[in-house]
Amino acid sequence: MAEPYRADTVPVGPEIRRMIAALPSSPGVYRFRDEGGRVLYLGRATGLRSRVASYWGGLGDRRHLARMVPRVARIEALTCDSVHEAAWLERNLLEESLPRWNRTRGGQEVPAYLVLDVRPATAGVRAVHEPGAATPGVSVFGPYLGGVRARAAVQALHRVHPLAYTRTGLTGAERDLAARRGVTPADREKLAAAVASVLHREAVAVASAQAFLTGVRDRAAEALGLELAARVQDELRALEWVTAPQRVTTRDAAALTVEGWSDGFLVSFTVRDGRLRTWTQRRTTRPALPAPPGWAAFAVRNATLAATLAGSRLQA
């Protein structure tokens, strides 16, 4: 039985269908170009193939794009190592250049940082929106996108490694909670090191923290503590967000050119002040410049994807 006609759907031509089928299911960013090569729209996706296909399968709350979709002649995409990386990449590219059909420069998430403080009077982890000046005993991690997620990650870290209970000047209630966890000021350095290992994305430390939180969530659910279980699930998602790999936005002030080449197709990126800010691609016989440390896999896989998506439409 044929699906009923919907006013917000657009027929899919064979070339668009081919490009959608060639997209991976990984996180990333995508952009649409018209026949003249002009960028119409740029977005991000948790799964590239399903997200891009959705523009031809019913726009839902994106009805304002109905006039754009028939103009799409070419799809380009970049794959990322995490949804967090894709979110930063979309934000950076939109801040640099806003296509006609995008409404805002970047997403709605607010950048945030996590501060690890080992000073006796203020020990703990907190979320801030500005990293501040370098201070002895204080380490800054990030940036991360989303103040709500950053604060939930703070709660997750405190639940796993309660560094704040090693502070001087605890209230009576806090001292009782510290005693229940068996935490004393003598544990300050050990707990701070454990938190730092998680925020440095060390695989064993991250997996251990996730396992601890999963146990708390599951025990709460079994005891019908559904509110606590839901809260810890949010903390798990937040911890995954801040520990996910992402290289496109850092506190490093580096300025780099990153290139990848595959099957006669060159993809180029510029990084300024630690942010990947531009993305171009073109057909050429010139191989890519050697990639800076940490960028080779990203550059090569996205050059391969660019060549695959271009297919018969490969243009200089």
pLDDT tens-digit map of 121-174: 999 999 999 998 889 999 999 999 999 999 999 999 999 999 999 999 999 999
**One domain for residues 130 and 231:** yes
Q: How far apart (Å, rounded) are the C-alpha atoms in residues 111 and 132?
A: 14
Q: Which helix (H) or strand (E) holds 159?
A: helix 147-160
What is the average per-residue pLDDT within 263-285? 95
**One domain for residues 100 and 137:** no
Cα Dmax for the chain: 71
Q: Are strands 124-128 and 138-145 parallel, antiparallel or unpaired?
A: unpaired
Give residue 103's pLDDT band: very low, low, confident or very high (50, 70, 90): confident
CB 268 within 8 A of CB 302: no
Q: How far apart (Å, rounded) are the C-alpha atoms in residues 77 and 305?
A: 7
**One domain for residues 87 and 198:** no
* DSSP symbol at 137: T
Residue that finishes a domain, picked among 243, 272, 296: 243
For residue 202, what are the domain limits?
Answer: 111-243
- pLDDT above 80 (res 107): no
**One domain for residues 238 and 297:** no
**One domain for residues 134 and 234:** yes
CB 217 within 8 A of CB 236: yes
Tens digits of residue pLDDT in 48-81:
999 999 999 877 667 788 889 999 999 999 999 9
pLDDT at 310: 92
**One domain for residues 158 and 235:** yes
- pLDDT above 60 (res 312): no
Q: How far apart (Å, rounded) are the C-alpha atoms in residues 177 and 155?
A: 15
Residue that finishes a domain, picked among 212, 243, 274: 243
**One domain for residues 136 and 175:** yes
Tens digits of residue pLDDT in 234-262:
999 999 999 999 999 999 988 999 999 99
CB 39 within 8 A of CB 64: no
- pLDDT above 50 (res 21): yes
Q: How far apart (Å, rounded) are the C-alpha atoms in residues 80 and 301?
A: 10
Number of structural domains (the chain) is: 3
**One domain for residues 16 and 99:** yes
**One domain for residues 210 and 125:** yes
Q: Which helix (H) or strand (E) holds 75?
A: strand 74-79
Q: Taking the CB of residue 300, how many other CB atoms lie within 10 A of it?
A: 17
Q: How far apart (Å, rounded) are the C-alpha atoms in residues 205 and 187?
A: 17
171 vs 164, 168, 177, 178, 187, CA distance in Å? 12, 9, 10, 10, 18
Give residue 199's pLDDT band: very low, low, confident or very high (50, 70, 90): very high
**One domain for residues 115 and 236:** yes
- pLDDT above 90 (res 315): no
- CA 62, 33, 314: angle at the middle one, nearest 5? 140
- Which residue type sits at 79? T
Q: Which helix (H) or strand (E) holds 15?
A: helix 14-22
42: domain CATH number is 3.40.1440.10
**One domain for residues 238 and 117:** yes
CB-side neighbour CA atoms (13 Å) of 124:
17
Residue that finishes a domain, picked among 85, 105, 125: 105
CB 134 within 8 A of CB 227: no
